[in-house]
Amino acid sequence: MPPKTSSVGAVRRTFSPWSDPAAVPLIRFENVTKRFGDAVAVDNLSLNIYESEFFCLLGPSGCGKTTLMRMLAGFEEPTEGRITLAGQDLAGVPPYRRPANMMFQSYALFPHMSVEKNIAFGLKQDGLPKADIAARVDEMLRLVQLERLAKRYPDQLSGGQRQRVALARALAKRPKVLLLDEPLGALDKKLREETQFELMDIQHELGMTFVVVTHDQEEAMTMADRIAVMDHGRIAQVATPGEIYEQPKTRFIAEFVGDVNILEGKVIGQENGLWRVETAASPTPLTIDDPDEVLHAGQAVAIAIRPEKMVIRRGAAAPGTQNAVTGEVWDIGYLGDWTVYRVKLASGEILRVSRANASRFVENPIDWDEEVHLTFAPDAAVILAE
């Protein structure tokens, strides 16, 4: 692990069992494949998830993330490979005997049962004494702050309240792992942000393992300890949010998580540990600091640069400036916190640059059609082998 990356992102620095070779994973997917007829939903996938981890499965719809979760819950059986949970092979174990509970995307609250009956449902299946069930239900209602709505029915609740009931119901049995299928998908933006942090607090408080399926990269970035980005039934990268964003392994990940500019080019060679890459965008080769990549001269590569990691200045670049491209302002989007410039280069490519609006007033701001140049530091960009 390069020392540089340990400082990026909101990583709980003391919590990283995945980098500890002695740590035993709670959940193991071992060469798991799932086929529906001819369609391959999950393709020979291996993955470890550790105890107390907040783990996100992120990917576009149809990437297999939901299938992966449903195999863990027991609603689907793997075609090949095996899944273990706390050392137990889950093959043939029906959903109702697995120590994993799920919060459904639709919430799946039983409409004919009150809030407390819904929460008590799982406990009743375990045959707990009545007093214990009541105590646990109260505890759960307190946890999600719904004490006053215990007697209500699902159709008498708001969307946010339903979401909390679904969460409380899945948590009530204290499962070894809580599965959350698009937990915030049905909420509006404001509520979604609040709830993200609530979920993180609850997870932290209970120390439970959370596995979340989501297609929303912001949600995954905010909440997860680690993210597995999935594409076509395979895992494209498993890493902390910071690593996913700053060191994407593939073009798919770079483009799926956040905004990115891609410049196609050819490797010239290495100088002082820095890669020199020839592109159509710049007359002089670009210098990129990405020591992990093993490349050879003449290799076609893509350079990925995040919009906020470039600096925009008026006028053409002075000759000899490192990593500078010149173009004209094509569009300006004012977002309040950020201003986004779309700059058209002489080569025809359009790059996005964003600038934080750190002060309220800017004198003589850059305008449409002005000539500008963009610069970036060698370590601001990442090389992605094609």
Q: How far is the CB of 104 from another protein (least distance, A)?
A: 5
Backbone φ/ψ region at 44: left (φ over 0), alpha (ψ -120 to 50), beta? left
Q: How far is the CB of 173 from another protein (least distance, A)?
A: 7
- Note whether 155 binds another protein by CB under 8 A: yes
- 262: enclosing H helix or E strand: strand 261-271
DSSP annotation of 75: S
Question: For another protein, which is the closer residue by CB, 73 or 381?
Answer: 73
Question: For another protein, which is the closer residue by CB, 8 or 113?
Answer: 113
Q: How far is the CB of 265 from another protein (least distance, A)?
A: 48
> Which backbone phi and psi does 238 adopt, to 5 degrees?
-120, 120
- Note whether 185 binds another protein by CB under 8 A: no
Query: 3-state class of 231 per DSSP?
Result: strand
Buried b (16+ CB within 10 A) or exposed e, 22-61: eeebbbbbbebebeeeeebbbbebebbbbbbbbbbbbbee
Q: How far is the CB of 158 from another protein (least distance, A)?
A: 9
CA distances from 16 to 6, 201, 372 (A): 11, 18, 43
Buried b (16+ CB within 10 A) or exposed e, 170-181: bbbbebbbbbbb
Chosen residue from 101, 209, 247, 287 binding another protein by CB under 8 A:
101
- Note whether 108 binds another protein by CB under 8 A: yes
- Binding segment for another protein (CB under 8 A), chosen from 117-125, 221-229, 252-260, 284-292, is 117-125
Question: For another protein, which is the closer residue by CB, 108 or 202?
Answer: 108
Buried b (16+ CB within 10 A) or exposed e, 141-160: bebbebeebeeebbeebeee
- Note whether 320 binds another protein by CB under 8 A: no
Residue whose structure tokens are 């391959």: 40
Strand 274-279 and strand 311-314: the pairing is: unpaired
Number of shown-chain residues binding another protein (CB under 8 A):
30
Chosen residue from 34, 65, 136, 169 binding another protein by CB under 8 A:
169
Chosen residue from 42, 56, 68, 102 binding another protein by CB under 8 A:
102
| Other Cβ atoms closer than 10 A to 65 | 28
Question: Can you tell me the distance from the alpha carbon of 39 to that of 93, in angstroms, rounded to the nearest whole number?
Answer: 24
Q: How far is the CB of 101 from another protein (least distance, A)?
A: 6
Question: For another protein, which is the closer residue by CB, 164 or 373?
Answer: 164
Q: How far is the CB of 310 from another protein (least distance, A)?
A: 44
- Note whether 173 binds another protein by CB under 8 A: yes
Q: How far is the CB of 129 from another protein (least distance, A)?
A: 16
Q: How far is the CB of 119 from another protein (least distance, A)?
A: 10
- Note whether 81 binds another protein by CB under 8 A: no
CB-CB contact of 386 with 301 (8 Å): yes
- Binding segment for another protein (CB under 8 A), chosen from 5-13, 19-27, 150-158, 203-211, is 150-158
Give the type of residue at 85.
L
Binding site for another protein (CB under 8 A): 73-75, 94-98, 100-102, 104-106, 108-112, 121-122, 125-126, 153, 155-157, 169-170, 173
